[in-house]
Structure 1
Amino acid sequence: MYAKLETRTFLAMLVGVSLAFVLLMKPFFGPIFWAVAIALIFHPVQQLLVRKFGDRPNTNALITLFICMVIVVIPVLVLVTSLIAEGVGIYQQIQDGDIRPGEYIDRVNQSFPAIQSFLAQFDINFSELRDRAVSFFVGGSQFLAKQAIGVGQNTFQFFLGLALMVYLAFFLLRDGSKLIELLIKALPLGDERERLLFAKFAEVTRATVKGNLLIAIIQGALGGLIFWMLGIGGALLWGVVMAIVSLLPAVGAAIVWVPAAIYLAAVGDVLEAVILTAFGVVVIGLADNILRPIFVGRDTKLPDYIVLLSTLGGIVMFGINGFVMGPLVAALFMAFWGIFIREFGHEDHRAQFTESEIDDSGPESP
């Protein structure tokens, strides 16, 4: 009796201390998560270095981390800085009256009055839709301006998070395999299940970050390139926006280039509108269908509606990290239920089948 009480008390304190530790790490959730993602994505690079240079944990981890910094971290920092600067510029032009989103929408309405008639069939008020679109556009540029101010005011905090991410990524690259084995020993889920879940976690993280993010970058780059070639202002900004919305299935980059093509047609630039439409459908649209099976793989792809809902829910819950965290949680949810169905879902059926076999076989012979 006393031994059971000791065990329960220890387990309760273990859970309490673990929860306290999680809350303690909560302010650094973003850097920790991205450090784990970097370690998972660049693990094959580290394994290649091990085969080439031998088992030198510190050296191999440093080289892998340097490669990650050169091809991922530094370009992303440059892109984000340029994006914020361009967003601030557009916001300033809106404030000065140089850009009037409402006039652009009115110009489209004057050139294509059928749009207003079509929306009226669904009881959609064009004026309200126009005001919401203008508010969304102004609000988006204002958000980028606030982000620029926030980055400037919180420079120390930003670089602290970046340094923490790089620091943790080094140790995860070096000691990641040992940490996984330690967790497998500690968690009471069964070694086979734990290995399956860790493998699923790594698989989905690589697919979401490396695959979906790379595809989004390619689509955004293609969209920004065609905008720049056609002389559309803010090509970098719209390219990044297309990259972001490309993460959402059933939405995609078309939410940006379709209105742009309509506006070009409305102002009389028919050739440019045709080029943008053809490029959007053939190049940007098909890039997802061609590249996703290559980079992501068909086995790891969640249904589009699950990806859409989990991505939106993840962004609401986790912020910018949610575009990875949302699909990851959804994939682990499906993995857990897959294990449950595989191991427990057919037990009752097997028991009934065994009983029916016994009944049909008749009485046992003496």
Structure 2
Amino acid sequence: MTPPVKSPGAVALGPARDLLWSAVGAGDEHRAATVVLDALETTADAETVLLDLIAPVQAKVGAEWAANRLTVAQEHTATAIHERVIAVLAHRPECRGGTPDGPRVTVACVDGEWHALPARLLAEVLRLRGWRVDFLGSHVPTPHLIAHLHQTGPRAVALSSSIPTHLPTAHTAVTACQAAGVPVIAGGAAFGPDGRYARALGADGWAPDARSAAAVLARGLDRPGPPGVDRGLDDLPHLADQEYTIVAATTHQLVKQTLADLEDRFEPLRGYTERQRRHTAEDLAHIVEYLATSLYVADEDLFTRFILWTADILTARGVPARGLDPALDLLALQLKDFPRACHTLARAREALGHRTPPPKTPGPGKPA
């Protein structure tokens, strides 16, 4: 991935990042706002504060949750504080951007995507650069997005998604926007480390961060052709084999059977509490969803990366990651008539066999 572009003032924000991290970790919204506003006075550059202060601290929030050093509640609290602090920043007189006659752009998260902070950061950066921004927030159903486009006629749509399992929905949104005559730039972790899934789904542009997205939009995206022309039908010809469709449609059955069979293969499961079994079923459901998404975009690496990430998450939480291998084998037995699925599962099992577990870390609130 291309590293995010930083402004000259970013280096000077190191102490402010430490202070902001301390504030959001303590759930102290007022102290967090003070840190951000003080940084604004120091740098006199709202974009730098947004992208080189708030954004990296939010990224650390996610990393600390993954390492089991923050609870879900602490992660949600930190994110909520950042959202409110951004709102405070946006209403400062020196931070009000956009003009009534500026180019119009719609920024939205795809249907099902609740992680709206990256899209919000982009929306604020575009406002600062003179765009007239319609920020629709998280979880925007595609029909409502298209209705908005018909009503407002923006120059482009910026679609955000952080979770790869939303890629099929993102594909629907991309092709629907293009059919309405509006080009699409995609962004967010869901679209791959180098934007490969944005290209696979036929997006008109991709950017790894907000500054790069603003630059792409400033250069302009070509309109996708006359309204009503759907360019997405031939983007993914491999879907003709129906493997994605069948795996997605039978997720519940696959999870139920795998959980039942896993008791014979993975002895610790027999002693699990009802709560632990429920979490195991949820993990299996995520595995099947990522398998289906991998089949949708025809990229085995997507699934392998998720399995290795899941192994690290389980290890950080003191759950035996060795249960993943028999679970993948049991899924392969159920999907023995689906060659792409079986090959994807085999690749992931091979990667698990060569995995080096991360060092154990203390849980939330525990001393190192």
Q: Same fold (TM over 0.5)?
A: no
- Greater RCO (CA < 8 Å, at least 6 residues apart): 1
Which structure shows the higher strand fraction? 2
**Normalised-by-shorter TM-score class:** under 0.3
Report the TM-score when normalising by structure 1. Answer: 0.22
Which structure shows the higher helix fraction? 1
Bigger radius of gyration among the two: 1
